[in-house]
């Protein structure tokens, strides 16, 4: 099962807010030996959200969705999920319990808590989910997210969303953690066009089934500076660790035979890049 993420909100597409969810979900998955296969950004347009979700539900993937589950007029995610699945919305009993606790926490007066007040009803509205959903607990303010059909819907606020996504990964998918051994090795090749390296990359993938070659060219990163300021290609292989180790040897030898100027990038311990032979 592949992992995907849908990030919803006009504010992301307009640039009013910078998305922080994509790098975070990559980090959360990587820490558990998992990987993100795809990501989509969608604005606050109900028809587009519904169409995106229909495709997503049909994929069979495990999908996180951030944003649009509040109670303001621009929050459409709950309604779009219901439309995509053809089910009604209803106040989830576990959500009602959690939101009631939140209302009590916020109550500062001596009078009894009025669960029927307009303000309370607006809060309960945030627990109205597509029928068949389960709740995702929210340790920040108790207003839950929800899940249905391997899709997990959390708020747009990172302080809430990220712990909720961690809870999902550790509660629902602990059996998938670190199940597929994975390794990645790369080197920097300077002043050489990708077209020169392409035949080598093709041979590596042919000779090592299951190993994928990646090539990330850069015209030079002046901001990072140092050796990275030169025009270079981050060239590497990823996949099953033993195959990657053998493929990397062949990759390095091949670049050397092509006359490439090789430098191995910094390792995870933060060491400086070291020159190749």
Cα 76-77-82 angle, rounded to 5 deg: 105
Structure-token pair, residue 155: 């708020």
Which pLDDT tens digit goes with each residue over 204-244?
Answer: 999 999 899 999 998 888 877 778 788 899 999 999 999 99
- Give the SS3 label for residue 203: helix
Q: Residue 239 sits in a domain of what CATH number?
A: 3.30.70
Which pLDDT tens digit goes with each residue over 198-214?
Answer: 999 999 999 999 899 99
Among candidate residues 141, 176, 211, the one where a domain is terminated: 176
Among candidate residues 157, 176, 195, the one where a domain is terminated: 176
How far apart (Å, rounded) are the C-alpha atoms in residues 250 and 200? 9
Whether residues 8 and 117 share a domain: the answer is yes
Whether residues 72 and 204 share a domain: the answer is no
**Along the 277 residues of the chain, how does pLDDT read in single tens digits?**
799 999 999 999 999 999 999 999 999 999 999 999 999 999 999 999 999 999 999 999 999 999 999 989 999 999 999 999 999 999 999 999 999 999 999 887 768 888 999 999 999 999 999 999 999 999 999 999 999 999 999 999 999 999 999 999 999 999 999 888 888 999 999 989 999 999 999 999 999 998 999 999 988 888 777 787 888 999 999 999 999 999 999 999 999 999 988 887 654 333 444 444 3
Q: Residue 60 sits in a domain of what CATH number?
A: 3.40.980.10
Dihedral sign for Cα 208, 212, 217, 222, please: negative
Whether residues 56 and 167 share a domain: the answer is yes
Cα 152-157-158 angle, rounded to 5 deg: 80
Instruction: Say if CB 183 and CB 239 are below 8 A apart.
Output: yes
Whether residues 16 and 146 share a domain: the answer is yes
Whether residues 75 and 22 share a domain: the answer is yes
Whether residues 193 and 172 share a domain: the answer is no
Whether residues 54 and 102 share a domain: the answer is yes
Whether residues 86 and 191 share a domain: the answer is no
Instruction: Say if CB 101 and CB 40 are below 8 A apart.
Output: no
- Give the SS3 label for residue 134: strand
Whether residues 10 and 144 share a domain: the answer is yes
Whether residues 72 and 194 share a domain: the answer is no
* Domain, as residue range, for 144: 3-176
Among candidate residues 143, 176, 209, the one where a domain is terminated: 176
Instruction: Say if CB 145 and CB 136 are below 8 A apart.
Output: yes
Q: Tell me how many domains the chain contains.
A: 2
Structure-token pair, residue 7: 């990030």
Whether residues 140 and 224 share a domain: the answer is no
């Amino acid at each position: 099962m592949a992992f995907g993420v849908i990030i919803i909100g006009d504010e992301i597409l307009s640039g009013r807010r910078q998305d922080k969810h994509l790098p975070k979900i990559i980090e959360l998955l990587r820490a558990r030996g998992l990987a993100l296969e795809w990501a989509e950004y969608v604005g606050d347009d109900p028809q587009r959200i519904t169409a995106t979700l229909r495709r997503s539900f049909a994929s069979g993937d495990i999908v996180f969705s951030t944003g649009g589950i509040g109670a303001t007029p621009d929050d459409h995610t709950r309604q779009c999920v219901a439309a995509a699945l053809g089910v009604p919305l209803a106040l989830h009993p576990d959500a009602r319990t959690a939101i009631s606790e939140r209302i009590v926490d916020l109550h500062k007066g001596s009078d009894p808590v009025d669960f029927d007040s307009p303000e309370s009803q607006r809060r309960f509205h945030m627990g109205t989910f597509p029928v068949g959903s389960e709740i995702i607990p929210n340790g920040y303010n108790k207003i839950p997210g929800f899940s249905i059909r391997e899709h997990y819907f959390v708020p747009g606020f990172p302080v809430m969303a990220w712990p909720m996504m961690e809870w999902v990964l550790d509660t629902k998918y602990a059996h998938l953690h670190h199940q597929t051994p994975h390794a990645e090795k790369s080197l920097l090749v300077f002043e050489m066009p990708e077209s020169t390296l392409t035949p080598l990359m093709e041979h590596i993938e042919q000779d090592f089934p299951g190993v994928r070659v990646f090539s990330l060219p850069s015209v030079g990163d002046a901001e990072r500076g140092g050796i990275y300021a030169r025009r270079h290609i981050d060239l590497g292989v990823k996949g099953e660790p033993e195959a990657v180790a053998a493929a990397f040897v062949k990759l390095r030898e091949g670049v050397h035979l092509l006359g490439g100027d090789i430098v191995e990038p910094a390792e995870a311990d933060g060491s400086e890049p070291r020159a190749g032979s």
